[in-house]
Structures are given as structure tokens and as C-alpha cells.
């Protein structure tokens, strides 16, 4: 008689054997995950107790962690206060034709902060100033002499802005001190007005201030110097905008838009953009002809006036007959 050894290989398998082995595999996986989670919890508790001083024992750190972690705090402190401002103008070129009656420009921008804290617009102030090309002005003083008002004095200013308009989130006297505004030439009283050489004489400071105020008063009456105390509005947390109405008599040439960002009376950042007013079509032709070829312009003007006069005389003489 021959005996066959009993092995698991020759053992008959039940019908649900695949399902049984799958259940055992899932059970082993769950046990391994539970052990891993338990080990992580124990490690976390040990690190927490070590940090609080409840237990003593070495907590291993890599060299990379020891080098990087102490440098994080000083870096955040250096980034605080490094706000910047960026802005732009709705148009950078304006055509001035014979029918030019003024236009409107919009200046918009944003406050940028390098660290991950949302900027609060209530702590910021923005001043936007638009200046025209430098020009020369002569302020004259009139006095009553024997019942007649005649010029008794004058003062010549050079490099003064031909056009100056300004808008701010609130009155500039509440934004910064007078010394700060004067240092950056912000405001009517602090714009650059250089007295011409050999024109100062023996005039006192008060007299010079009166002449300067007279120029500003005349410019404001002509709508060439304007001011908006609440002309800058914040839209959201970082965006702001301001609009300016350029009058019909705005001097043709380049305009410089300067944007200043303040906080707690200190200037944080500034930005500059440019707009150009250009003569176009017939106005540019006549301007170039008058300034580049004055003799030819004069001959053509006399000729045109003569032809216009003779034509009008002929028309009216025919109607009379």
C-alpha cells in the first residue's frame, strides 16, 4: 500500500478561498496602518513634551533645519514696511486740435506688499500730482499812485510748472508735515519756483511769498492750478483711482504724473508716469509755420487777409447794385 503525504498543496480548497485571502490581506494592512499612526502620535507627543521642558532628551534635527529655521524670523521683520506703489494713466497721448475743449484723464494704481498680509487701505494715504512743462512767469505789483494804479514792482520766476493739479485721499496737511511736503515739492506752496538771477534785489522773504501767492492765485483763477482734497479713492484693499479734468487752455507739451504713497506721515514709495499733449492737423501746421518760418507765415497771413477783404468787398458791392 502506498501512502501519499498530506500537504496544504493537496488539501482541497473551499469555494470562497479567494475572498478569505483578500479579507486577511486587508486585515494585515489595517494593522500596519494602525501601528504607523500610533508611532507618529507617540513621536508627536514626545516632541511636544521635549519643547515644553516636561521631559529631557535629545530631539534630532537635521543640519538643514538648524540652518534654515533661525533665519525665517529676521527675514519677515526685514520685509515689513517695504510697500511699493505702481500706477498708470488711461492715455499717454492726447491730440490737441483746433476744436480741443479739454479732456479727462484717469490715473489708477495699486499698493503692493511683499509679505502675505492683505493691505488695509485705511492706513495709507495717496497723493497724485500732475505737472506741466516748466515755464517762466513775471508777477507784477500794482500800487495806487496819485489815484492811478501803476506797476511799482515785479519779480520773475523760472522753472515753475505751467500746469499743476493735485488729488489726495484727504487734505495734504493731514497726511504729512510741512517739512516732508516741502522736501518733495508737494502742494501749491511747495512747488518749484526759482527766482531769476539778479531779480531778487533787497526783497524780504515776506515780499517774495506775496509774489508767489499772486502767481498761484492767478493760475487758480485760470484753472491751471487745481486741487482735490478727496480726489483719490481706494477700490477694495489695494487698488485706487483718481480722475483729472484738463482745461482747454492746458499748455501743450509733456505732463508728468507723480504718485506718492504715505503711511503715518512717512513717504513709503513713489511712482512716475507721463502724458504728452500733441498738436495735430491744422493747428500743428500753423504752429510749426509760425515758429519755424515766421517771415513766410507773416506774408501768407497778409496775403490771406487781403484776399478775404477783396472777396467780401466784391460780394457786398454786387448786392448793393
What pLDDT digit, counting tens, does each position of 93-109 carry? 888 877 788 899 999 99
Does the residue 6 lie in any domain? no
Domain annotation covers residue 203: yes
Provide CB contacts within 8 A for 124, sequence distance 6+. Answer: 83, 111, 169, 234, 261, 262, 263
Same domain, 43 and 131: no
Whether 111 is covered by a domain: the verdict is yes
Are 165 and 268 contained in the same domain? yes
242 and 155 part of one domain: yes
Q: Are residues 131 and 46 in the same domain?
A: no
Contact 218, 141 (CB under 8 A): no
Confidence band of 62 (pLDDT split at 50, 70, 90): very low
Note the pLDDT tens digit of each residue in 4-22: 444 444 444 444 444 444 4
Paired residues of 126 in beta bridges: 261
Are 126 and 28 part of one and the same domain? Answer: no
Task: State which of 263, 279, 295 marks the end of a domain.
Answer: 279
Same domain, 252 and 163: yes
In a domain, 244, yes or no: yes
Instruction: Report the C-alpha gap between 1 and 4 in whole angstroms.
Output: 10
Q: What is the pLDDT of residue 41?
A: 57
Residue 90: inside a domain: yes
CATH of the domain at 197: 2.60.40.3880
Q: Where do runs of H (alpha helix) occur along the chain?
A: 17-52, 63-79, 172-175, 178-183, 205-221, 281-292, 294-320
Quick: pLDDT tens for 147-180: 888 888 888 888 889 999 999 999 999 999 999 9
CA-based torsion, 111, 113, 116, 119: positive or negative: negative
Cell reading at 274 = 507721463
Domain containing 48: what range?
Answer: 16-52
**Distance, CA of 54 to CA of 57 (rounded, Å):** 10
Write down the mean pLDDT value for the chain: 76
- Distance between CA atoms of residues 267 and 175, nearest Å: 10
Task: Show which of 279, 294, 311 is a domain's final residue.
Answer: 279
**Residue 181 neighbours by CB under 8 Å, 6+ apart:** 172, 187, 190
The answer as to whether 192 is a domain residue is yes
Same domain as 180, residue 268 = yes
* Domain assignment of residue 77, yes or no: no
Same domain (yes/no): 46, 92: no
Within-domain flag for 93: yes
pLDDT exceeding 90 applies to what percent of the chain? 20
Number of domains in the chain: 2
Nearest partner of 46 among 37, 56, 36, judged by Cα: 56
In the prediction, which pLDDT does 153 show?
Answer: 81
pLDDT of amino acid 38: 64
In the predicted structure, residue 56 carries a pLDDT above the cut 90: no
21 shares its domain with 122: no
How confident is the model at residue 116, as a pLDDT? 55
* Domain match, 101 and 155 both: yes
Is 100 found in the same domain as 28?
no
pTM above 0.75, yes or no: no
Same domain, 39 and 161: no
Amino acid at each position: 500500500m502506498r501512502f501519499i503525504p498530506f500537504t496544504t498543496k493537496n488539501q482541497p480548497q473551499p469555494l470562497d478561498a479567494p475572498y478569505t485571502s483578500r479579507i486577511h490581506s486587508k486585515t494585515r494592512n489595517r494593522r500596519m496602518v494602525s501601528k504607523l499612526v500610533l508611532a507618529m502620535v507617540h513621536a508627536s507627543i514626545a516632541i511636544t513634551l521635549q519643547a515644553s521642558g516636561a521631559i529631557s532628551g535629545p530631539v534630532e534635527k537635521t543640519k538643514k533645519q538648524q540652518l534654515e529655521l533661525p533665519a525665517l524670523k529676521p527675514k519677515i521683520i526685514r520685509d515689513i514696511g517695504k510697500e511699493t506703489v505702481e500706477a498708470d494713466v488711461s492715455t499717454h497721448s492726447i491730440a490737441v486740435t483746433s476744436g480741443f475743449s479739454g479732456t479727462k484723464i484717469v490715473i489708477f494704481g495699486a499698493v503692493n506688499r511683499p509679505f502675505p498680509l492683505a493691505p488695509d487701505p485705511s492706513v495709507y494715504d495717496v497723493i497724485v500730482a500732475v505737472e506741466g512743462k516748466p515755464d517762466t512767469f513775471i508777477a507784477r505789483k500794482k500800487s495806487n499812485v496819485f489815484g492811478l494804479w501803476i506797476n511799482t514792482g515785479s519779480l520773475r520766476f523760472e522753472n515753475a510748472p505751467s500746469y499743476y493739479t493735485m488729488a489726495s485721499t484727504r487734505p495734504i496737511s493731514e497726511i504729512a508735515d510741512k517739512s516732508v511736503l516741502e522736501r518733495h515739492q508737494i502742494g501749491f506752496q511747495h512747488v518749484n519756483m526759482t527766482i531769476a538771477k539778479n531779480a531778487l534785489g533787497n526783497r524780504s522773504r515776506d515780499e517774495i511769498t506775496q509774489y508767489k501767492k499772486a502767481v498761484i492765485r492767478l493760475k487758480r483763477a485760470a484753472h491751471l492750478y487745481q486741487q482735490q482734497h478727496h480726489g483719490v479713492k481706494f477700490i477694495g484693499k489695494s487698488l485706487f483711482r483718481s480722475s483729472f479734468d484738463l482745461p482747454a487752455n492746458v499748455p501743450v507739451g509733456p505732463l508728468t504724473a507723480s504718485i506718492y504713497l504715505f503711511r503715518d506721515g512717512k513717504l513709503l514709495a513713489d511712482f512716475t508716469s507721463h502724458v504728452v499733449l500733441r498738436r495735430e492737423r491744422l493747428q500743428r501746421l500753423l504752429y510749426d509755420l509760425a515758429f519755424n518760418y515766421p517771415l513766410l507765415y507773416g506774408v501768407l497771413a497778409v496775403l490771406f487777409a487781403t484776399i478775404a477783404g477783396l472777396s467780401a468787398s466784391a460780394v457786398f458791392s454786387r448786392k448793393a447794385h
